[in-house]
Amino acid sequence: MTFHAENIRSSFPSLQSGAVFLDNPGGTQVPQHVIDAVVDYYKTSNANHHGLYETSRKTGIVVDNARQAMADFINAATANEIVFGQNMTSLTFHLSRSIAKLIQPSDEIMVTHLDHDANVAPWLFLQEQGAKVTWVKINTTDCTLDLNDFESKLTDKTRLIAVGYASNAVGSINEVKLITEKAHAKGALVFVDAVHAAPHVPLDVQDIDCDFLACSPYKFYGPHVGVLYGKQKHLETLEPYKVRPADNNPPDRFETGTQSFEALSGVIAGIDFLAALGVEDERNYSNVTGRKRALKNAMAGIQQYEKELFVHMIDGLKQIEGLTIYGITDQQHFSKRTPTIAFTMDRFSPQEIASYLGKHDVYVWDGNYYALALMEYLGLEEHGGAVRVGIGCYNTQQEIDRFLDLMKNL
């Protein structure tokens, strides 16, 4: 389906400020539909879970519907494979503690130099169990994962591989399905960080066959909440850290404490908002198959639209003297990256550039954005990292031109 940002921009109240939001990899803006759902929860359903009265029952329905919505979004086999939490980082640390109980001295854990530290630090702590951590190198010319290095370091002792679906810093998309296939052949588990990929590419955990996958709805037009997918067999057998009265059945056993039910209401609304972009007729999402198909159509349309904007942006940046782009820059290989750019510029620090753009109401990030290992690997950390610019589905060519004009005038 053809997608046009102009058709949805009026749905986002924050966009009416006139600012250009290119900070999307750090968190997207939300449509009024999501805001209304959060407010409506407080008005009509505000109660804790598992009570024997009306508002508590309504909260239970919200939880169930949010699980199903996320299961549709990532194509999980069942809604019971969806775990909610405060954020991806907290959920990953929570899971790593459970997996630590399976780790024996001399076992190996694999992480990469391309990942956000939320998919590195939780696994480094497994060294306390005696595990050896191996690092997968990257190709510095285009900031892609070195698959030859990955295969050379994958052994019969490898117990878990933590890999990002896409880099939150430079946009590189990894071959997670291939990595999972090779990992399973060695008996290793695979944890995929899909936080950055989720707004840009269709997710299908059954196709990838990964054991775990995490994402964050606030990166794809929803509220602040974290999501962890785990295969049913793992959620049933892993021992979670939890309070004793808590439900011992998955997925509840991995959800520590009271959830942000208002945020879960917003998750449903955010996914339905995306699904609405994938249908041309009546917007009815009560049918699971219908919502999955609509989401697939929507993500394909968004992906194509964002690619067109990205080509325009990167072509403009290439014309600026003294500017260095990190990551894939060959248009023939743009299918292997998201519309996120990290760059540096001679004579100006990343902080100076971000501050200059911010004063002109163009919002971007600078620093390492928690992709610490990558910035160290590229030798950028000691120089303030890089500027990061990321396109979302509501951005327009006019906004990209405004950003490029400011960069040229710098």
Q: What is the CATH number of the domain that holds 253?
A: 3.40.640.10
Based on the fold, state whether residues 71 and 209 are members of the same structural domain: yes
Say if residue 285's pLDDT is above 50.
no
Tell me whether residue 282 is in a domain.
Answer: no
Based on the fold, state whether residues 337 and 384 are members of the same structural domain: yes
Q: What are phi and psi of 250, to 5 degrees?
A: -75, 150
| pLDDT on residue 304 | 95
pLDDT digits (tens, 9 = 90+) for 88-111: 999 999 999 999 999 999 999 999
Based on the fold, state whether residues 87 and 214 are members of the same structural domain: yes
Based on the fold, state whether residues 14 and 47 are members of the same structural domain: no
pTM equals: 0.96
Based on the fold, state whether residues 352 and 203 are members of the same structural domain: no
Based on the fold, state whether residues 191 and 309 are members of the same structural domain: no
Tell me whether residue 182 is in a domain.
Answer: yes
Is 211 in contact with 76 (CB distance < 8 Å)?
no
Residue 7 corresponds to which amino acid?
N
Based on the fold, state whether residues 271 and 194 are members of the same structural domain: yes
Based on the fold, state whether residues 12 and 50 are members of the same structural domain: no
Say if residue 26's pLDDT is above 50.
yes
Alpha-carbon radius of gyration of the chain: 21
Is 166 in contact with 335 (CB distance < 8 Å)?
no
pLDDT digits (tens, 9 = 90+) for 348-370: 999 999 999 999 999 999 999 99
Tell me whether residue 294 is in a domain.
Answer: no
pLDDT digits (tens, 9 = 90+) for 178-234: 999 999 999 999 999 999 999 999 999 999 999 999 999 999 999 999 999 999 999
Domain count, the chain: 2
| pLDDT on residue 288 | 57
Say if residue 1's pLDDT is above 90.
no
Is 375 in contact with 350 (CB distance < 8 Å)?
no
Confidence of residue 308 (pLDDT cuts 50, 70, 90): very high
Q: What are phi and psi of 222, to 5 degrees?
A: -120, -170
CATH number at residue 308: 3.90.1150.10
Based on the fold, state whether residues 238 and 162 are members of the same structural domain: yes
Tell me whether residue 357 is in a domain.
Answer: yes
What residue has token string 């500027």? 387
Domain final residue, candidates 208, 241, 275: 275
Count CB neighbours of 31 within 10 A: 25
Q: With CA atoms as reference, report the closest residue to 336 among 168, 137, 144.
A: 144
Say if residue 253's pLDDT is above 50.
yes
* Domain range for 140: 35-275
Based on the fold, state whether residues 213 and 304 are members of the same structural domain: no
Q: What are phi and psi of 291, to 5 degrees?
A: -70, -40
Tell me whether residue 291 is in a domain.
Answer: no
DSSP E strand boundaries for 172-293 = 189-193, 212-215, 226-230
Q: How far apart are CA 360 and CA 406, in angstroms?
A: 8
